[in-house]
Amino acid sequence: MTDILASFPIDLYLAHPGSNYVKDRDLGPAAHRARLRFGTLVNAHGPEAANRLYSAFAKVGLGRDLTAFLQPTPKGPST
């Protein structure tokens, strides 16, 4: 594997009653807008910085989705 990135860990919002969009579905749109705003703030620092952050999320097991960048292993000569 060459790298792995995680998406924004929106499920962290479930840990706080004021942002738990599962218990209170009315909070869902605000959680979504906060996720988008976070992405805008991170992306303002450029793609390399964003990739480092989302890679760090993946390394500590945070994030809703994972994206792995893979490279095939070259096959050796047949014997």
pTM over 0.85: no
- For residue 56, give the DSSP letter: H
Domain extent, residue 18, equals: 3-69
Q: Pick the closest to residue 8 from 31, 48, 39 (CA basis).
A: 39
pLDDT of residue 1: 62
Residue 9 domain-assigned (yes or no): yes
Residue 74 domain-assigned (yes or no): no
Residue 41 domain-assigned (yes or no): yes
pLDDT tens by residue, 4-22: 999 999 999 999 999 999 9
pLDDT of residue 79: 59
3-class SS of residue 6:
strand
Residue 79 domain-assigned (yes or no): no
Residue 25 domain-assigned (yes or no): yes
pLDDT tens sequence for the chain (79 residues) = 689 999 999 999 999 999 999 999 999 999 999 999 999 999 999 999 999 999 999 999 999 999 999 999 888 776 5
Total domain count for the chain?
A: 1
Residue 77 domain-assigned (yes or no): no
Cα(66)–Cα(18) distance, integer angstroms: 27
